[in-house]
Structure 1
C-alpha cells in the first residue's frame, strides 16, 4: 500500500521554511516538541503549502499560505482552519488531525501558520488507485463508510458546539448560486450554451433551504486518510479550508458532482475513483444518505447540478488564467473541454430528471 501513501518530497526552491526560527518558536510553545530532524513538503494541492516536520518524538504537519498570498483577500486563513479543527475536536468529532498550535506572529516565518499532528495512512487518488486492485467488496464498504461519515458530520449540533459561527446559513444557496455565476462571467472565455442554461436553471429552480448543518464543501476520497491495514476505516478527514454552515444537501450535491460512474465521460473519471467496481452509484449514495440522515433528498437533482456547475466554474477560472497568459502550465490548455463536459452532464441530468 505504500505506493498510495501521500509521500512528502524535497522542499520546492523558494518555498523553504526558516528552520532555526521555527525550532525556537515551537520549543517555547509546544511541550516536548523535540528537535526538528527533517523538513519535507507534500507535493499536492494548488493552494496552501503543507510540510512534514520530523522530530525525534513524533511527526507533525505544518500549513502556511502560499508565498505572496497576502494580497488575496479572504483566502488562506490559517487561523480559521486551526479553529475549525479545534472546534471539531471539542465537538467530539475525532476524525480530524489533532491541532497543536497556531502562530500569528509573522516575525517567526513571515506569515501565519499552524501545526497539527500527522495522521499516517493511505489517501486514494483517481490516477493511482486502479493500480491497487482494491477488491469489489472492500470498495463497496469503503464507499458506504464515506457516506456514513458525511452523515455524521451533518449530525453535529452546530448551535451547542459553536460551529454556527463559521458562516451565515440564511440565504446560503442564493449566495452560492449568484456568487459562482458571477465568477463564471468574470472568467468566461468562450460561449458555452450549457453553462448559460445551468445558470438560468439554478436561479429559477432554487429550493427552500433545509435546516443548516456543518458543511465540509469538498468531501471526497482524496480528502480522507484511510487505515492501510483496513481500507474501510477512515482515520481522518482533511482539507477544511472551505468548511462553513448551510444547507447540508449543498455538501451532498458537491460530493455527488465528483462521484463519477463507470458510464461517465473519461474526463469525469479523472476527478475520483468512484467509477471503480464496487462503489455505490450516485443514486445509491443518495439513498444511503437519506436513510441514515432522515433527510428528504427528493430534490437532490438541484444540488447535484449546482455541484457540476461549481466545478465547471473552477475549471473555467483556471483555463481563463491560462488563456490570459497568467500561467504557462501546458496541462491547462485543454481545460475548456472540462467546462463543456460538466455543464453538458448538468443539462442532461436536468432533462432526464435524474442524478
Structure 2
C-alpha cells in the first residue's frame, strides 16, 4: 500500500529531541525505542507529522511556518474541541496531549493515529471502482454529516465556547474582513459579491455542532469503503448554522459536469466526478430527508461557501506571495481565488 507520509519537507522540520522529551514526560509506559517523525504529504494549511516510538503511533498537528492570520490555526481550541466531540462522535481522533510554543516554537497537539483509506483525486490501485461503491460513499458522507449535526451541543462544553446567535452575520462579515486583509490581486466582481452576501444573510437558522471543513479528503474509510472511521481537520469546528456546514461540504463536492475552473482548480479533479457519486442536488436532498431540515435557502449558503473557500485560498496565496512559505504548490492559487470569486458572483447574480 502506498504510504501517506513523506520525509519532512525542507523548512518544516521540528525538534525531535524536545518533542520526545515532552511526550515521555506526559505519556507513561512508552516503548524504549527512539522517536521517529515523518510528515503527512496531504494538507495545504496546518502541518501534520507521524510520530512513532516502537509500536506506539500518534499524529502531531501544528500551524504552518511563519505568520498566520489572527485567530487562525488555534491548536488549543482544536484540541479542546476534540476532547468534547470525540466521546460522542467516533470518527473524530482521540486527542492525547497539548503543548505550547515553548516546546517547538509554536503550539501543537498530539492525537490518535488512525489507519484506513484516504480518498482525494483517485482510488487506491487495489480498489475496484463501481457505481454502487461510489453511491455508497456518497451516502456515508451524508449520514455522517447528519449524525454530527444531530449531537446535542448543549451536553458539551462547546455551549460555553461558542456564540451560535448571530452566527451567519459574523461569518459573512468575518470572511469579508479576512479577504480584505489578505487581498493581493484586484478582482472586479468582489465588491458586488460582498454587498450581495451582506444583504441576503438569513434571518433565522437552526443551531448545531458544525465541522465546517467537511469534505471527502478530510475523511478516512475502512478498506472496503463501507464505513467512515476518521474525520480530521477540526480547526473550524463550532456551534452554528448546519446549512453553512452543508454549503461548505458542497463547495468541495465537484461533479463531472462542472467547469474545469472548479474541477481542476487545485490540481486533479476529485473522485466525486466519477460515475455513481451523488450530484450536489442529490446530496442536499438526501441530507434534507435524513435531517428533516428545510434546505430551500441553500443557494445563499452555496454562494457564501464558494467565497469562503476563495478566502482560505487567498490567505494561503498571501503567505506565499509574502515569502512566508516556500511551498510551490501555492504559486498559482491566485488564479483559483479569482475563479472562485467569479463563480460565487455568478451564483449570486442567478438568485436576483
TM-score (norm 1): 0.87
Contact 2:66–2:325 at 8 Å: present in 1 too?
Answer: no
Counterparts in 2 of 1:327 and 1:19: CA distance versus 1, 3 Å: closer
Counterparts in 2 of 1:140 and 1:47: CA distance versus 1, 3 Å: same
Residue 34 of structure 2 corresponds to residue 40 of structure 1: no
Alignment match, 1:114: 109
Q: Distance in 2 between matches of 1:47 and 1:348?
A: 28
Q: CA deviation at 1:347?
A: 3.6
Q: CA deviation at 1:222?
A: 0.6
Counterparts in 2 of 1:253 and 1:57: CA distance versus 1, 3 Å: same
Q: Distance in 2 between matches of 1:321 and 1:29?
A: 34
| Residues 16-165 of structure 1 aligned to structure 2 (within 5 Å) | 16-35=13-32, 36-68=34-66, 73-90=70-87, 92-104=88-100, 106=102, 108-126=103-121, 128-129=122-123, 134-165=129-160
Alignment match, 2:218: 223
Counterparts in 2 of 1:40 and 1:315: CA distance versus 1, 3 Å: closer
Alignment match, 2:272: 274
Deviations 1:184-230 (A, max 9, x none): 334444443433332222111211231321111110011001112x1
Q: Distance in 2 between matches of 1:231 and 1:68?
A: 37
Counterparts in 2 of 1:260 and 1:185: CA distance versus 1, 3 Å: same
Farther off after superposition, 295-304 or 48-57:
48-57
Long gaps (5+) in structure 2: none
Aligned residues: 346
Q: Distance in 2 between matches of 1:302 and 1:317?
A: 23
Q: CA deviation at 1:44?
A: 2.8
2:204 to 204, 209, 212: 209
Farther off after superposition, 214-223 or 14-23:
14-23
Q: CA deviation at 1:234?
A: 0.5
Alignment match, 2:189: 194
Counterparts in 2 of 1:318 and 1:12: CA distance versus 1, 3 Å: closer
Superposition CA RMSD, Å:
2.6
SS for the counterpart of 2:335 is helix
TM-score (norm 2): 0.88
Q: Distance in 2 between matches of 1:64 and 1:319?
A: 19
